[in-house]
Amino acid sequence: MSALWHPAICADWLAVRRTGAVAFVRIIGVPALPLAGCVALACGDFYGGYGWGLAAAALLALGGSYAIAHQRLLDTLERWRFGWCGALPVARGATAGTSLLVTAAGLIVSLAFVTALLLGASMAAPHRGDLPYALAGVDLALVVGTTIAAVRALHAGARVRHADGIREPLFTLPWLNDPRLPHLLDWQRRETLVRWRRGGSFVMVGVVLAGVPDGPSIPMVVALVLLVLAWAWLAVVMRASADASNAAVHLVGATPLHPGLARVTSLRYPLIAASCALIPVIVGTALGGRAAIALGWAICACAASGWPLVRIFRATRTPGPPA
Amino acid sequence: MTTLLRTTGLGVAYGDTRVLDGVDLEIARGEFVALIGPNGAGKTTLLHAIAGTAPLRDGMVSIAGHDLAKAPRQAKQAIGLAVDPPGLPVLLTGRECLALFAGARGLAAIPPATLALGETLSLTPVLDRRIASYSLGMRQKLGILLGLIGEPPLLLLDEPFNGLDPRSALAFKSHLIATIAWGGTSVLLATHSLDIAERHATRVVLLMDGRVRRSWDAGELSAMREQPECSLEKAMAEACGGETAK
């Protein structure tokens, strides 16, 4: 292994090779969803000639690529610094170099994926002349978002962030907690907050707003930001809730509680969060006009981001050896 | 004495690797059974198989007369498995984690006996702190409390003394012995601490290559304690094979 690269990358590569397609889907699946969302927004211009679809697609690409790259880089840095390989002698610059290489590889895959999707989507479109603008806008946004994420994450460096961003709620509704699994809701909420904070911060909202072109009106921009933020929040909630739920079911596996009941209980928080996310979606839809299209898009996006909930109900039939 | 746990022909495999192969084990009420064996013998897997958290390939587990496969709720009501420190939810506080387990056991609140044991183990001052800030010893104590919550009649403990300071280890040992003596609780303790096994257990079972290789009953253990030239360490080495005894 070259001293230029972090030793953990070798183990990560072996793990990816052993788990094959599952690992590939998990790695690619997260950015694939927002990238497909970008293309869906761009299709508004390709097919409807709305005039704001490309701007929205670029904004989503900017915010999404930043959030995903930032979270992944922080996770990787933390794992390399405090995980099994934390005590290994690593050459100066190898951590930054390797993490940048991995991020660049992910960016290239994302660029290829979104370019292929945009080319395919625009082939039979009446406004296919917008394709160069779409390619330039979305691809540039991906590069800028990922670059900002890399600079910020490497600057922040590795530290344990389990408590970052966790605040006690302003008010609690005791009846939301199921007495069969009290505090599972808190667990899911805190997991969500930690991941949301890792995905970036409200600095990105400013960056997104600064990148808005002159064309669309202010209400339209607010509507776009609300819709994108609501979707991003919901996607984080679903993934965090599913992971916390699976961990809880595993944790209380030796107790008399039926795993099915535990899984049903763990749906409470994501359902409440989804109901709350509907508020900015409705406001955004009202502000942006074209209610039917915006609402339809928002519902499709929310439904797509709900797929991690399937994992809650997928019982682990052949668990691995105890840790 | 009433049989509390019975495993018959227990087999567990992870992929192609057979970890347990036809384990037959019986534990009566009030028994303190120590499970010893080399690394990879299958001790932890046996505890998880009994607790229903490892998949059985063959055999059956009966706890307090309930088949674990057919009546898991009733069977699991009778067991308490101490949680491994790395498996604890770092985003919850110790008290929240105890409440989670109390709820899963059908209890309305954390039982006073559990809080009292927490006090004995000096865990009370940190119960309202997030588990992420706990040391290994604190996590071990919390894992023990989670296993003992609701006072189940069969305790399954996997190296519970790892990371405990001497005072807490002594307090927990005393608690276990008192619980067995007064409450009729049974304990299955997987450990490498042969002195604990030799001094406190009523039976010691040696597990090797996923099978029960040898067991020592109360009489044999008593004889070991009385004869300075005999020890469980020597007996285990002999049972494991002559070369390790040299």
pLDDT tens-digit readout, A189-224? 999 888 888 775 555 555 555 555 555 667 777 777
The answer to whether residue A271 scores a pLDDT higher than 50 is yes
Per-residue pLDDT at A212 = 54
Interface of A with B (CB under 8 A): 160, 162-163, 166, 178-184, 186-187, 190-191, 194, 244, 247-248, 250-258, 262, 317-323
Which DSSP state fits B134? -
Is residue B99 within 8 A of residue B115, CB to CB? The reply is no
| A154: Cα separation from own chain's centroid | 19
In chain B, what residues touch A178 (CB-CB under 8 Å)?
A: 103
Beta bridge partners of B11: B21, B58
Question: pLDDT exceeding 70 applies to what percent of chain B?
Answer: 98
Q: Is B40 on the interface with A (CB under 8 A)?
A: no
Once rounded to an integer, what is the mean pLDDT over residues A130-149? Answer: 89
Each residue's pLDDT tens digit, A45-100: 788 776 677 887 888 888 888 888 888 888 888 888 888 887 888 877 888 888 88
Give the one of B19, B72, B97 whose C-beta lies nearest to A321's C-beta. Answer: B19
Share of chain A above pLDDT 90, in %: 10
- Do the Cβ atoms of A186 and B92 come within 8 Å? yes
More confident residue, A307 or B23: B23
Tell me what pLDDT residue B93 has.
93
Per-residue DSSP letter, B177: H
Nearest by CB to residue B73, choosing from A179, A184, A258, is: A258
The answer to whether B65 faces chain A, any CB pair under 8 Å, is: no
Contacts of A317 in chain B (CB under 8 A): 55
Q: Does B104 touch chain A (CB under 8 A)?
A: yes
Q: Higher model confidence: residue A311 or residue A295?
A: A311
Q: Where are the beta strands (DSSP E) in chain B?
A: 3-14, 17-28, 32-36, 58-63, 66-67, 79-81, 154-158, 186-190, 203-208, 211-216
CB contact under 8 A, B91 and A250: no
DSSP collapsed to 3 states, chain A:
CCCCCCCHHHHHHHHHHHHHHHHHHHHHHHHHHHHHHHHHHHHHHHHHCCCCHHHHHHHHHHHHHHHHHHHHHHHHHHHHHHCCCCCCCCCCCHHHHHHHHHHHHHHHHHHHHHHHHHHHHHCCCCCHHHHHHHHHHHHHHHHHHHHHHHHHHHHHCCCCCCCCCCCCCCCCCHHHCCCCCCCHHHHHHHHHHHHHHHCCCCHHHHHHHHCCCCCCCHHHHHHHHHHHHHHHHHHHHHHHHHHHHHHHHHHCCCCCCCHHHHHHHCCHHHHHHHHHHHHHHHHHHHHHCCHHHHHHHHHHHHHHHCCCHHHHHCCCCCCCCCC
- Which residues in B lie closer than 8 A to residue A84 (C-beta atoms)? none
With 70 as the cut, is the pLDDT of residue A179 above it?
A: yes
* Amino acid A116: pLDDT: 92
pLDDT given at position A23: 65
Nearest neighbour of B91 by CB, restricted to A187, A251, A319? A187
pLDDT at A256 over 60: yes
Contact A252 B100 (CB under 8 A): yes
User: Tokens in use for B59?
Assistant: 């055999």
CB contact under 8 A, B100 and A184: yes
A36 vs A251, residue with greater confidence: A251
User: Which residue in A164, A185, A255 has the most chain B C-beta atoms within 10 A of its own C-beta, making it the best mutation to test that interface?
Assistant: A255
Find the CB nearest A163 among B55, B76, B132: B132
Confidence grade of residue A233 (pLDDT, cut at 50, 70, 90): confident
Q: Is B79 on the interface with A (CB under 8 A)?
A: yes
Residue pLDDT, tens place only, B24-66:
999 999 999 999 999 999 999 999 999 999 988 999 999 999 9
* ipTM value greater than 0.85: yes
Cβ-Cβ contacts under 8 Å between A and B: the total is: 105
pLDDT at A3: 67
Distance CA(A213)–CA(A211), nearest Å, equals 6
How close, in Å, is residue B214 to chain A by CA atoms?
24
Q: Give the closest of B51, B72, B87 to A323, CB-based.
A: B87
pTM for the whole thing? 0.79
Residue A254 has its nearest CB partner, among B81, B89, B132, at B81
Q: Read off the pLDDT of each residue in A137-149 and give the average, rounded to a whole number.
A: 91
Provide the chain B residues 136-175 that lie in CB contact (below 8 A) with chain A. 156
Tens of pLDDT, residue by residue over A24-41, are: 666 666 677 778 878 877
pLDDT score recorded for residue B181 = 86
Q: Is B92 on the interface with A (CB under 8 A)?
A: yes
Average pLDDT over residues A138-159: 86
The stretches in chain B having pLDDT less than 50 are 243-246
